[in-house]
Amino acid sequence: MRYTPSTILVTGGAGFIGSNFVHRMLRADHTVRIVNLDLLTYAGTLDNLTDLPAPERHVFVHGDICDSSLVAQLFDEHRIDTVVHFAAQSHVVRSIADPGEFVRTNVNGTFTLLEAARSAWLGAKGVKPPEVARTRRFHHISTDEVFGTLTLEDPPFAETTPYAPNSPYSASKAASDHPVRAYFHTYGMPVVTTNCSNNYGPRQHAEKFIPTVIRNCLEGKCVPVYGDGQNIRDWLYVDDHCRAIHRVLTHGELGQTYNIGGRNEWRNNDVVSLICGLLDERLPGQAPHERLVEFVTDRAGHDRRYAIDTKKITGTLDWGPAEDLESGIRKTIDWQLGLTQ
């Protein structure tokens, strides 16, 4: 049965994926209203929310997902029927330096949102199951990093792969996935969870891998690559991810988790070569950009390989990525050059 959201509380909607989701939803759904709660940490910026397709259906609230009174007030004031929860501390390197902030935001923040939804939707004044299953959704955005790392021979991560997080970031995300599941089984909270691979594309924070490679190439600066550059990631173009979230939100089965991947397993070295080659085409005067590559000391606990088995979402919800890595990187370069919104 199709679910139709009316007013969505998007958390972290000034960040990379959240802002792309806000743009997509306002474009794709002509009636939905969005209340966007974001603390505007170093990772969030209102620049990501300029030129929204229907700004009159978007309200921005500057605040913290851990602030239970604010969150309760938003549920009440805006009659929130749907939560799409992106807000998180998301940078693995930062989690090594400051794990406490990751526990606060990712674990306590998710708990605060679940409690607010429970009180508003299932409390004394709330609706009762099965009506709640028809009229409310809590969509939790998680990561493939909760599954740990793979060898070259291992099969890709499936929804049934046991959790084995290796960094404070992935551990805090794993810890936030469990109460979401528990609220479904214990309280009948209408939840869905998605675990996706590495995203890239427009509006990604400048310090992440692909934006750094593109920027440093454009500025003629050294392009740092961790370790031997042989780490493998599955790369997912951000708008493909947002389309998958929309699909799971409206058609996913309650209590289920769905893995989302780009079917693009690439070694970091090969990603860098691809970007350098595409920039050589664009800016032949500065070729070869690959001369800028410099290998730097590997980071602690750096997972070797991630790969995603997308059979479940492909088979049950008819979703697949539209971009391969080359087409997605071309779009990302255009955006970084200021040629597209």
In the list 28, 40, 296, 322, the residue contacting ligand NAD (rule: CB under 6 A) is 40
91 to 110, contacts with ligand NAD by CB under 6 A? 105, 109
In the list 65, 192, 271, 272, the residue contacting ligand NAD (rule: CB under 6 A) is 65
In the list 6, 41, 119, 212, the residue contacting ligand NAD (rule: CB under 6 A) is 41
Closer to ligand NAD by Cβ: residue 104 or 251: 104
257 binds ligand NAD (CB under 6 A): no
| Nearest-angstrom CA–CA distance, 70 and 76 | 10
In the list 36, 82, 90, 161, the residue contacting ligand NAD (rule: CB under 6 A) is 90
Q: Which of 29, 38, 169, 323 is catalytic?
A: 169
21 binds ligand NAD (CB under 6 A): no
| Nearest-angstrom CA–CA distance, 311 and 161 | 14
Q: Which of 29, 38, 81, 144 is catalytic?
A: 144
Q: Give how many residues touch ligand NAD by CB under 6 A.
A: 31
87 binds ligand NAD (CB under 6 A): yes
Q: Give yes or no: 253 in active site.
A: no
323 binds ligand NAD (CB under 6 A): no
Residue nearest to ligand NAD (CB): 15
In the list 198, 268, 310, 332, the residue contacting ligand NAD (rule: CB under 6 A) is 198
5 binds ligand NAD (CB under 6 A): no
18 binds ligand NAD (CB under 6 A): yes
Contact indicator for 270, 233 with CB cutoff of 8 Å: no
CB of 235 to ligand NAD, least distance (A): 9
Q: Give yes or no: 145 in active site.
A: yes
Binding site for ligand NAD (CB under 6 A): 11-12, 14-18, 37-41, 43-44, 64-66, 86-90, 105, 109, 141, 143, 173, 196, 198-199, 205
Catalytically annotated residues: 144-145, 169
